[in-house]
Structure 1
Amino acid sequence: MNSGEYTPLVPDLARSTVLAEPPGAGAGYWAGAPSAAEGDNGWIYLAYRLRRPIGQGRGYAVVVARYRDGAPVEPLVTIGKDTMDAESLERPALVRTAEGLWRLYLSCATTGTKHWRIEVLEAKDPADFDPRDRRVVLPGDELTGVKDPVIVHHDGLWHLWASCHPLEVADDADQMVTEYATSVDGLDWTWHGTALGRRDGTWDARGVRVSAVLLSGADVIAAYDGRATAAENFEERTGVAAGSEPGVLAHVGSDPWAESPHQGGGLRYLDVLPTSDGGYRLFYEVTRPDGAHELRTEVRAA
């Protein structure tokens, strides 16, 4: 593949519109970390995280909503962190099974620790997710926190890319690599190792987090978040990775592919939803001039 083939997947703020505003102004207030899925009758369903600054709630809720072009986002249900017994919530994954069942995978911070786990809710309709019916599907362990899942069903198999953080040394817990797993049912997972790692001396030396994956024939294309230092936590920029198999991805290029022009440069958690005409609908979280993060979308031609 040449670099031009990735261009439709790269955000362009000039083409985008705001889908959700942060819950406050200034640094630490975010609306973002989106996950999108196609529904019936032209509806697009979204799950996204709302956050306040540290000390004021962190990731306090995940919203499940639906919308169509030209109409405002319609929230359907809000999952609060307390109902998940979590200190904070981060990037969710919203998927629909072949049988029409909806699943919401939630990244949950274990209270009083730097550990993360992933739990799942199931419902026949996205408006009916109920935290009382949750269960842990990716627990992590005492040495690894697991969060920010990307989940794709392809060729009869569930594929997962998750952000994994080392916990042995507290000051290193912001570091991250992306691990790959598979499942026959999307609930019980088998890990296969690191799909995308960090690169010393580059803009993604401190951490990489796959945020979207497209599987097409023999090609695998991924968007990912990267940061060079611990100080850049919360302000990751977007890169592109590719490969010929889902568990082995290589960084494309030596620089970020997309970033905000504003304070911090954060443009992250890119999700990609193919459209019926062969194009793509992009969703992402981006830093605005006051330092808050907003959720944006745009349509790109094939």
Structure 2
Amino acid sequence: MTDFPVPGTGTPVVVAAAPAAGPGFWAGAPSAALDDDGTYVLAYRVRNGHDGLDQTVVARSPDGETFTTVAVLDGRRFGANWMERPALVKVAPDRWRMWVCMGSPVDDPASKRWWIESLEAADPAGFADAPAQPGFPGDDLNAVKDPFIRLVDGRYHAWICCHLLDLPGEEDRMNTAYATSDDGLAWQWHGTVLEGRTGEWDARGARVTTVLPDGRAAYDGRASAAENWFERSGIAAPDGSGLAAVPGTPVTDVRYLEAVPLPGGGYRIYYEARLPDESHELRTELVRP
């Protein structure tokens, strides 16, 4: 597992600074993809304080480090106060899809509900006003958020973070479920594929954040409810029909690790890093083969 592209392998570069100082001011939760012309397209969440309104930002870069914003989506557009990690996929030469993640309905701000909707556009800039379609609605027992989605040989594969809502006050508990689709609209669920381990650093839950072409994955976890927003990142590998944490592999103090395979080998990774004042910034590293 030493070849897994973990943070610290390359030289960190700040892609997006924290929007302000202090807890709840976060830039991160990235999803990235390469366009056919070799440019990078990046979507990420900006949280403007725990009592502020969230945004999803879409940006483009020639080198993967210096980005120009092409679209900004406000949570209120979807009837939500909060937004979290989007999932960005190029599905055809002239077609992109993005799944956006929302929580805390404007008309019911005390709700623990999270849900996911999808947008489609010819170019990422078109997400700014693209109509929303149903994605993953969630239900009374599961808040769904933070999708990671890949399109492989015409079939969509989704890893969805599910927060368990059956116990009031314990809604931070999470696991990852897996779903597939032929069209990216109607999904078939295949159950939980990764969850926390009793007595370990990920005991409170596990959220898949990226899956490499060989099936290995990075995931976020935490040991307790007190560590909500202080997750760390570990490595999992295929194990039967699901994933299992790999003992002895690095556990890194970052969230939402994303890894983009590069045509010449290696990866460009993106992740959310916590600063001493508890604000978060979005960083990237080039991990060479």
Task: Identify the TM-score tier after normalising by the shorter chain.
Answer: over 0.9
Deviations 1:108-160 (A, max 9, x none): 11412101110011100100114561022110111111010000112332110
The count of aligned residue pairs is: 285
1:233 aligned residue: 228
Paired residues of 1:48 and 1:63 also in contact (CA < 8 A): yes
2:114 to 116, 128, 132: 116
1:86 equivalent to 2:80? Answer yes
2:51 to 35, 52, 55: 55
What is the alpha-carbon distance in structure 1 between the residues aligned to residue 129 and residue 9 of structure 2? 35
2:136 to 129, 135, 138: 138
1:107 aligned residue: 101
* TM-score calculated relative to the size of structure 2: 0.94
| SS of alignment partner, residue 129 of structure 1 | helix
1:194/1:285 CA distance change after superposition, 3 Å: same
2:166 to 145, 165, 168: 168
What is the alpha-carbon distance in structure 1 between the residues aligned to residue 145 and residue 182 of structure 2? 20
Q: Which amino acid aligns with 2:47?
A: R
1:294 equivalent to 2:281? Answer yes
* Matches for 1:1-302 after TM superposition, within 5 Å: 3-6=1-4, 9-12=5-8, 15-57=11-53, 60-69=54-63, 72-111=66-105, 112=109, 113-131=111-129, 133-216=131-214, 220-243=215-238, 247-253=241-247, 257-259=251-253, 267-302=254-289
What is the alpha-carbon distance in structure 1 between the residues aligned to residue 183 and residue 104 of structure 2? 25
Q: Which amino acid aligns with 2:82?
A: S
| SS of alignment partner, residue 212 of structure 1 | strand
What is the alpha-carbon distance in structure 2 between the residues aligned to residue 281 and residue 32 of structure 1? 15
1:276/1:164 CA distance change after superposition, 3 Å: same
What is the alpha-carbon distance in structure 2 between the residues aligned to residue 226 and residue 56 of structure 1? 25
Q: Which amino acid aligns with 1:248?
A: G
What is the alpha-carbon distance in structure 2 between the residues aligned to residue 227 and residue 5 of structure 1? 24
Give the number of the structure whose residues are more often helix, by fraction: 1
4+ long deviations beyond 4 Å: none
Q: Which amino acid aligns with 1:96?
A: K
Shift of residue 170, structure 1, vs aligned partner: 2.3
Deviations 1:75-132 (A, max 9, x none): 0010001111112100001111035311110111141210111001110010011456
Paired residues of 1:121 and 1:130 also in contact (CA < 8 A): no
Q: Which amino acid aligns with 2:183?
A: D
What is the alpha-carbon distance in structure 2 between the residues aligned to residue 225 and residue 104 of structure 1? 21
What is the alpha-carbon distance in structure 2 between the residues aligned to residue 72 and residue 279 of structure 1? 19
Shift of residue 39, structure 1, vs aligned partner: 1.0
How many percent identity over aligned positions?
Answer: 46
| SS of alignment partner, residue 138 of structure 2 | coil
After alignment, is 120-129 or 249-258 more displaced? 249-258
Shift of residue 27, structure 1, vs aligned partner: 1.8
